[in-house]
Structure 1
Amino acid sequence: MSASVTALRAKSPENGGLLLADHLLHVAEAAEAIAHGRNLNPELARLGGLLHDIGKAHPEFQRRLTAKRTPADKPFRHELASLFFLPLLPQIQWEPLFDMLVAHHKSLARDSSGYGLYDFDQMGENFEKTHLDAPAQRWEEWSGPALAVLTEVGIATKPISRAEALTAFEWCTERAYALIEGRVLGWSPWKGLLVAADHLASALQQRTTLALPRLFRSPDLAPFAGTHPLYPLSTKQTTDEGKPHTLVTAPTGAGKTNYLLRRCRGRVFYTLPFQASINAMWRRIGEALQEQEVDVRLLHGSSRVVAYQAKEEEKALQDKVGAAVKVLTPHQLMGIVFATRGYESLLLDLQGADVILDEIHTYGALTQAILFRLVEALHGIGCRVHVGTATMPTALYDQVLALLGGPEATRITTLTEEELDTYDRHTVHKLPDWDATRAVLAEQLQAGAKVLIVRNRVKDAQQLYHDLQELYPDTPKMLLHSRYRRMDRAELENQLKKEFDEQPGPCIVVATQVVEVSLDISFDCMLTDTAPVDALVQRFGRVNRRRLEPAQRKLQPVYVVAPPTTKTAARPYDVDVLQRTYDLLPDQGIVLRERDLAGLIDAVYPTVELTSLDGFARFRNGQFLLPLLTHEPKSVLLDLLEIDSVTGVWLRDYEAYSQASPDERPRFEIPLNYRDAQRAKLRQHPHGNNPYLIDEQAYSPETGLHMERLLAETGYEFL
């Protein structure tokens, strides 16, 4: 490379100092591979990759790679400076190139930073002065090194006059106005492609080429096709017969996972509600497909922690496009409904895929509406949608079925009453309060039982665990909830499976809702708070889970403690739903019949009243209702669900967090509620995600975060 080319960088020294030419080539290769996988023009995609960041050749960008920002610095958008180089290519190609270049970092309008192209022009910014002409060099001087980079990466170049550059930029400005003020609605696959390619190449850098051959490969799901007489779903028909979608209702342990995977024909997005179950499913599918040259990826807030032992390129790929199988939460697909940042790349990745929505079992009015909108959007973009549940109310079932096109488009699978009877596994006992559980627990441990105790709130689980440590110091026990350092949480989940589930002898596990879904564990007895009937049935599925031959089957007890009577004490659930559930449950050791569960669930949830999301959802009635190349500036979903999760870091980890790499820092982070952090007046760490600092006494690797200790001095009662 010439000196002018090697002097230009795409990344700052602390981020590796990657050469601009190398970055453009990496993104171009990724864009070309993604285009092949998504049936877009690969040559045009490559051109977009080669041009997308050429604006980084601008002297002002190069200065800012090494200089500290000052209050006098005006906004500088390198991707907008790249638009000056469009005259190198025929104008017939400008529209898709515009889509790739102009908005791969910012929304075209209403960006949260205010720095989209339309935003800039509306503010009256003198864009040409700050972006076309550098402070010390005019266009004619700095465009030369930029053109040298483009020549180096394979684009045929020619000198571009200042007038030509301005004419091209004016064309771009006019297109921006036409899209925004003309309300040209929809989404751009070209933007999605470039964003996806840029993220992938930026994460992998020199390793990009090695990862590309595995993108968009469909897995061979034959490992899930075996049949077994103990699992009725394994013998059920899965052929299409013109029915691309699936609705399967069956008990926990009936083989829904295998059945849903057998219904898939292409790449798979497998969703589950909770992190622990996602981790377990990722490992299970990965082990089944380990002989195949395909990517099985994991995506949630702590996915890089769980995949910590993986190779660097595997960790970097977890949230990128093109996986054969991706295991994630339904909320991570909701960007396509609310059109949040990056939704175009998600759409590009999802189109035509098989999407499994497994263990759907939360039925508040809002979560019902969110599920409904997600199914509508997935169906609308051509996905094959497969819904699996043990606990769906009939009213919601009927609405989802209609949304998928009815029985004509959906394979409906259930078990017969006789098959359901083979899944009767629990006797139910109601207890008036937690004091009444002491005698039950002592009796069960004396008999050698493995006991799972589930509390609805973290602080109650922690207090009970503390009490049990004193009562049963020699009995193996553990605590599991959502407020641990991510490295500790991953270790506890592994310990739960390898030591408490698989090792013989009595033990106690105290947990919260994190154990409800798809954890392949099986205990002998449960003591639990009353939860909504759907959640409770899922909890029961962790007891007596293993399928045995008929002669070996026996019933195991579940003990349900009466719910509180006030709204505050019932949180996070609705007090009326808890009371209806408790009243309708059998008692005195009566068998909970699987054939009766549908009626029980319908009695608790007799109707479905969907919360209206019309003011928030951006996919409605089969189309996207926002201007092209724009996205919503914030996640509406977080506000709707009142999710305000941030992270904390233990003071003992202060230095380790400071010195850790960006990939390592999440291992030290602790999920935390923003409102509680503010009430506790917590300070923030100056590095990484600026996590809140957790006092030494408020955290333990064994029992997690004790939020009430942080709030004690403020007088605020932690619920």
Structure 2
Amino acid sequence: MSTTTDQLQAKSPENGGLLLSQHLLQVAEAAEAIARGRGIDPELARLGGLLHDIGKAHPEFQRRLTQKRTPADKPFRHELASLFFLPLFPQAQWEPLFDMVVAHHKSLARDPSDFGLYDFDQMGEQFEKTHLDAPTQRWEEWSESALEVLVELGIAGRPISRAEALAALDWCLERTYALIEGRVLGWSPWKGLLVAADHLASALMHQTGANLPRLFRAADLSPFAGTHPLYPLSGKETADDGKAHTLVTAPTGAGKTNYLLRRCRGQVFYTLPFQASINAMWRRIKEALQEQEVDVRLLHGSSRVVAYQAREEEKALQDKVGAAVKVLTPHQLMGIVFATRNYESLLLDLQGADVILDEIHTYGALTQAILFRLVEALHGIGCRVHVGTATMPTALYDQVLALLGGPEMTRITTLTEEELDTYDRHTVHKLPDWEAVQTVLAERLQAGDKVLIVRNRVKDAQQLYHDLQEQYPDIPKMLLHSRYRRMDRAELETKLKDKFDDDNRPGPCIVVATQVVEVSLDISFGCMITDTAPIDALVQRFGRVNRRRLPAAARKLHPVYVVAPPTTKTAARPYEVDVLQRTYALLPDHGAVLRERDLAGLIDVVYPTVELTSLDGFARFRDGQFLLPLLTHEPKSVLLDLLEIDSVTGVWLKDYDAYSRASPDERPRFEIPLNHRDAVRAKLRQHPHGNQPYLIDEQAYSEETGLHMERLMAETGYEIF
């Protein structure tokens, strides 16, 4: 290796100190592998990988790797400097190369920092003076070093004159204006490919090549085949009948997971609503496929925490393209609807895949609209969509079925009324208020029951847990909700499964939780006491009681106690008060059996119509097409704002120093999910490192009970729900 190529760096010393030639080669190899997996020209993809960051050879980029920026420094984008090397390639290849290079970090236009190529030119920035000529070296000098790297990597190099470089830039500007002002709509697979390759190689670095052979390798899903007399869906035929999609309605414990997986033919994206449930599903699928050389990955904010004991490259792969099976939440697919950052890579990964939308059960107007748009987009890009639910209103069911092409394109699977009758598991008892709970709880504990108590709001769950600690100090108990450090949350989920749900471990015990236990946690309690929730959510909660499927002779009915809902809008949050009141009124009482065959009718009474919230001002996939100019994306995720999803994190003040010292891979373990709006209203300061999490007062958090937001809000007067 020459002295020049041995000196040019792609990353700063604190980020690995990778040589530029090494980074370009790793990205090129990743791009080639991804292209082969997606049916794209692999040689052209390789060229894009070699070209994309050659602008890092620019002396200004090399200076900024080791020196702090000064106020006098002008914006510098290394990828724009890479465009000056287009003359090395036939002009017929310029468009895909341009797509791969120009916007792999920034949107072509409307970039939040105004660093897009279109933005630069609109502001009159003479960026060619900064990007072509360096303060200490002119184009003819530094381009020679860049060419030396490219020649070493197999590009037929030759000197590029200053006039040629500027002519290439003019061509790039002409294409930019044609795309943006000409409103050339759509998405670029080339950009998606390069972004995916860059992320993969940057995460794996020297381990990149070893992990490429598994990309886009489909799993053999035969471990999920087989019939069992206790699980009706196990006996339902799933052979390919020419129908791409699936709609299956069946109660908890009918074998939906295996049935849906058996309907899949390629890559699988398995979505579930809550973190705890996807952790459990990931472990289940990973164990079933452990003998196969395929990637089963987990994707959510805490995925690296859950996979903490895995090898470094396994953790780094979690959110990258090419997994055989990826387990995630539906919200993590919504980038394709709202065209948020890196949505092109997500589209590239999803094309032709099987997408399972399991445990779909929350049907507020906004959530219905988002589900509708997601199904529309997935269908529009050629995915096979498989929807599994225990509770779906008929009005929504019909609309989803129509989106998927109707019965001609969709396999519809349900259980017979006789089969449904075997799933009657609960007797229902209504309670007027939480004072009435005291007597019931004492009786159930005296009987040795394992009691699951579900509150709708975190602060109510925390207060109840505190009260029960005083009332029943000697009875094992735990609290579970969404506001924990990620390392604590992972430990609690393990504790819930290992110490409270072991069938061989007798009661009594108490688990106090929020909605996080509603879906797919394979836990079974003896009875439940719960706030009223919407009928669909309530049915899911009941699924954590008497969950185990037993032979008919051994089946028993177990009690669920439902506390009357509040009467005001504020007290009913996060739900709508009229939905809660309709649900409560429809439930049986006095120990009557909740009949599984009656649930569909109850749900239709609570949700008689579908009134979709209009997303036309936000959704970028509508009527079968993407409505954003090529090589652009939305500067922020409107989904986070619409749903008030936990879009930021906090860190406990006790962890301040540990977080500062931790590696990027370790820092998520310390982070606590927060709602951005709450953090701002609480006037929280931010940590200077990592994701710049908001600082949580020492008194506002404990490993046992999690984050108490009301303590942070005490001085603001803002009430947390």
State whether structure 2 residue 120 is matched by structure 1 residue 120.
yes
**In the alignment, residue 49 of structure 2 is paired with which amino acid?**
G
After superposition, give the CA deviation of every residue in 1:538-590 in whole Å (9 maximum; x if it has no partner).
Answer: 00000000000000000000000000111111000000000000000000000
Q: What SS does structure 2 have at the residue aligned with 1:405?
A: coil
Contact 2:644 2:675 in 1 (8 A): no
Counterparts of 1:43 and 1:639, CA distance in 2? 41
State whether structure 2 residue 680 is matched by structure 1 residue 675.
no
Matches within 5 A, 1:129-144: 129-144=129-144
After superposition, give the CA deviation of every residue in 1:64-118 in whole Å (9 maximum; x if it has no partner).
Answer: 0011011111110100110000111110111100100111011111111211111
**In the alignment, residue 265 of structure 2 is paired with which amino acid?**
R
Matches within 5 A, 1:370-385: 370-385=370-385
Aligned to 1:568: 570
Aligned to 2:450: 450
Counterparts of 2:45 and 2:709, CA distance in 1? 50
Q: What SS does structure 2 have at the residue aligned with 1:4?
A: coil
Contact 2:454 2:512 in 1 (8 A): yes
Q: What SS does structure 2 have at the residue aligned with 1:617?
A: coil
Post-superposition offset of 1:240: 2.2
Q: What SS does structure 2 have at the residue aligned with 1:632?
A: coil
**In the alignment, residue 678 of structure 1 is paired with which amino acid?**
V
Aligned to 1:153: 153
Counterparts of 2:625 and 2:719, CA distance in 1? 46
Counterparts of 1:592 and 1:681, CA distance in 2? 47
Q: What SS does structure 2 have at the residue aligned with 1:510?
A: strand
Post-superposition offset of 1:643: 3.0
**In the alignment, residue 212 of structure 1 is paired with which amino acid?**
L
State whether structure 2 residue 284 is matched by structure 1 residue 294.
no
**In the alignment, residue 271 of structure 1 is paired with which amino acid?**
T
C-alpha RMSD over aligned residues: 0.8
Q: What SS does structure 1 have at the residue aligned with 2:336?
A: helix
Counterparts of 1:167 and 1:672, CA distance in 2? 49
Contact 2:646 2:673 in 1 (8 A): no
Q: What SS does structure 1 have at the residue aligned with 2:436?
A: helix
- Which residues of structure 2 form unaligned runs of 5+? none
After superposition, give the CA deviation of every residue in 1:328-371 in whole Å (9 maximum; x if it has no partner).
Answer: 00010010011111000000000000000000011111110100
Aligned to 1:460: 460
State whether structure 2 residue 579 is matched by structure 1 residue 577.
yes
After superposition, give the CA deviation of every residue in 1:422-474 in whole Å (9 maximum; x if it has no partner).
Answer: 00000000000011111111111111111000000001001100111111111
State whether structure 2 residue 636 is matched by structure 1 residue 634.
yes
**In the alignment, residue 431 of structure 2 is paired with which amino acid?**
L
Matches within 5 A, 1:285-434: 285-434=285-434
After superposition, give the CA deviation of every residue in 1:640-682 in whole Å (9 maximum; x if it has no partner).
Answer: 2233532111111111111000110010011122233233322
Contact 1:83 1:169 in 2 (8 A): yes
**In the alignment, residue 606 of structure 1 is paired with which amino acid?**
P
Aligned to 2:59: 59
Contact 1:183 1:627 in 2 (8 A): yes
Counterparts of 2:183 and 2:606, CA distance in 1? 45
Aligned to 1:616: 618
Q: What SS does structure 2 have at the residue aligned with 1:297?
A: strand
Counterparts of 2:128 and 2:406, CA distance in 1? 56
Counterparts of 1:374 and 1:717, CA distance in 2? 33
Aligned to 2:33: 33
- Which residues of structure 1 form unaligned runs of 5+? none
Q: What SS does structure 1 have at the residue aligned with 2:388?
A: strand
Counterparts of 1:617 and 1:484, CA distance in 2? 32
**In the alignment, residue 313 of structure 2 is paired with which amino acid?**
E
Aligned to 1:663: 665
Contact 1:644 1:675 in 2 (8 A): no
Aligned to 2:588: 586
Contact 1:424 1:592 in 2 (8 A): yes
State whether structure 2 residue 510 is matched by structure 1 residue 508.
yes
Counterparts of 1:634 and 1:314, CA distance in 2? 29
Contact 1:8 1:19 in 2 (8 A): yes
Aligned to 1:79: 79
Aligned to 1:518: 520
**In the alignment, residue 162 of structure 1 is paired with which amino acid?**
R
**In the alignment, residue 556 of structure 1 is paired with which amino acid?**
H
Matches within 5 A, 1:5-16: 5-16=5-16
Counterparts of 1:387 and 1:599, CA distance in 2? 20
Aligned to 1:245: 245
Counterparts of 2:375 and 2:223, CA distance in 1? 27
Contact 1:28 1:48 in 2 (8 A): yes
Q: What SS does structure 2 have at the residue aligned with 1:168?
A: helix
Contact 2:424 2:596 in 1 (8 A): yes
Post-superposition offset of 1:614: 1.5
Counterparts of 2:415 and 2:646, CA distance in 1? 40
Counterparts of 2:676 and 2:642, CA distance in 1? 15
Counterparts of 2:525 and 2:336, CA distance in 1? 39
What is the aligned counterpart of 2:652 among 644, 650, 653?
A: 650
**In the alignment, residue 688 of structure 1 is paired with which amino acid?**
G
**In the alignment, residue 665 of structure 1 is paired with which amino acid?**
R
**In the alignment, residue 354 of structure 2 is paired with which amino acid?**
D
Counterparts of 2:711 and 2:92, CA distance in 1? 64
Q: What SS does structure 2 have at the residue aligned with 1:640?
A: helix
Aligned to 1:543: 545
Aligned to 1:162: 162
After superposition, give the CA deviation of every residue in 1:595-622 in whole Å (9 maximum; x if it has no partner).
Answer: 0000000000000011111121111111
Q: What SS does structure 2 have at the residue aligned with 1:226?
A: coil
Contact 1:645 1:673 in 2 (8 A): yes
Counterparts of 1:219 and 1:195, CA distance in 2? 25
State whether structure 2 residue 254 is matched by structure 1 residue 254.
yes
Q: What SS does structure 1 have at the residue aligned with 2:148?
A: helix
**In the alignment, residue 58 of structure 1 is paired with which amino acid?**
H
Aligned to 2:441: 441
Aligned to 1:696: 698
Post-superposition offset of 1:13: 1.1
Contact 2:426 2:557 in 1 (8 A): yes
Counterparts of 2:694 and 2:189, CA distance in 1? 38
Q: What SS does structure 1 have at the residue aligned with 2:715?
A: helix
Post-superposition offset of 1:324: 0.2
Contact 2:31 2:46 in 1 (8 A): yes
- TM-score scaled by length of structure 2: 0.99
Counterparts of 1:242 and 1:672, CA distance in 2? 45
Aligned to 1:495: 495
Counterparts of 2:177 and 2:718, CA distance in 1? 51
Counterparts of 2:22 and 2:194, CA distance in 1? 16
Counterparts of 2:674 and 2:40, CA distance in 1? 42
Counterparts of 1:246 and 1:138, CA distance in 2? 61
**In the alignment, residue 663 of structure 1 is paired with which amino acid?**
D
After superposition, give the CA deviation of every residue in 1:210-233 in whole Å (9 maximum; x if it has no partner).
Answer: 110110010000010011010000
Counterparts of 2:106 and 2:600, CA distance in 1? 48
**In the alignment, residue 59 of structure 1 is paired with which amino acid?**
P
Greater mean alpha carbon deviation, residues 409-418 or residues 669-678: 669-678
